[in-house]
Amino acid sequence: MSRAKKNAFLSAAETERVSAHLALRGGDSSVTLTTSRAVLFVEGETERLVLRDHSSLAASAICVLDFGTVGLAPLLRVADAMEIPWHALVDCDEAGAHYAATARDHLRRRVESRHITIAAEPSFEQALWNAGFRASIIHVAQRHGVEFDDGELASLLRAARLKVPKPLLVTESIKHARAIDLSHQLPRAMQTAIDAVQLLSLR
């Protein structure tokens, strides 16, 4: 957090949690918060891993950070203090509504559409399922020995819980889908967030 003008915007406990979070989540990428031109905040590890494979983000010096373990509000305060433009991508479930409200509280007259994207689905996995990755998700799950009966995503994820980590299931499914057909695109909300944060990185 060396680019921050002051550290008073975080409590001592928040400073410790955020520092640990940035060391854990931000240190596994070529673009870190302190070296970024903009930051894209996402809810979970799965989204972070998928988006860090998106070559255009790294090329634009955009940092992708999940906020699941530390909370969005402290990270937004850090980004604002460091004068790093940010965009938040959230789901449309109850938690996502809370995160969207948190982001709105930090807009300070900024335009919401430039800084917040709310997906139409309650989870990233559901967004992928709806975006044409269903067959690949099923294929990868079955390859890991997952069996489920009704063809529903919720059942698949429950059955997969003890056999394959969700981030691995998703990343392998995306790779499988693209190996078959390069036209497979990420869910619309994710692409919207990518476009928005790339515009912010140009400022």
> Rounded mean pLDDT of 131-160?
93
Q: With residue 175 as reference, give the H or E element that holds it.
A: helix 166-180
Start and end residues for every CATH 3.40.50 domain found in the chain? 12-121+187-201
Structure tokens at 184: 């497979």
Report whether pLDDT(130) > 70. yes
Could you tell me the maximum CA-CA distance found in the chain, to the nearest angstrom?
56
Report whether pLDDT(71) > 50. yes
Report whether pLDDT(165) > 70. yes
Lowest mean pLDDT among 19-23, 99-103, 138-142: 19-23
Q: What is the pLDDT of residue 148?
A: 85
| CB 155 within 8 Å of CB 149 | yes
| Tens digits of residue pLDDT in 9-50 | 767 677 766 676 566 665 556 688 888 999 999 998 899 988
Q: What is the pLDDT of residue 30?
A: 66
Structure tokens at 115: 């800084």
Lowest mean pLDDT among 24-38, 45-59, 71-85: 24-38
In one-letter notation, the amino acid at residue 133 is F
Tally of CB atoms within 10 A around 56: 10
The whole-angstrom separation of Cα 90 and Cα 97 is 8
| CB 71 within 8 Å of CB 61 | no
pTM summary value: 0.87
The whole-angstrom separation of Cα 9 and Cα 82 is 11
The whole-angstrom separation of Cα 114 and Cα 196 is 6
CATH of 12-121+187-201, one of 3.40.50, 1.10.10, 3.60.90, 3.30.70: 3.40.50
Strands 116-118 and 38-42 turn out to be unpaired
Q: With residue 66 as reference, give the H or E element that holds it.
A: strand 62-66
Q: What is the pLDDT of residue 7?
A: 43
DSSP 84: -
For Cα atoms 86, 165, 55, give the angle at the middle one, nearest 5 degrees: 40
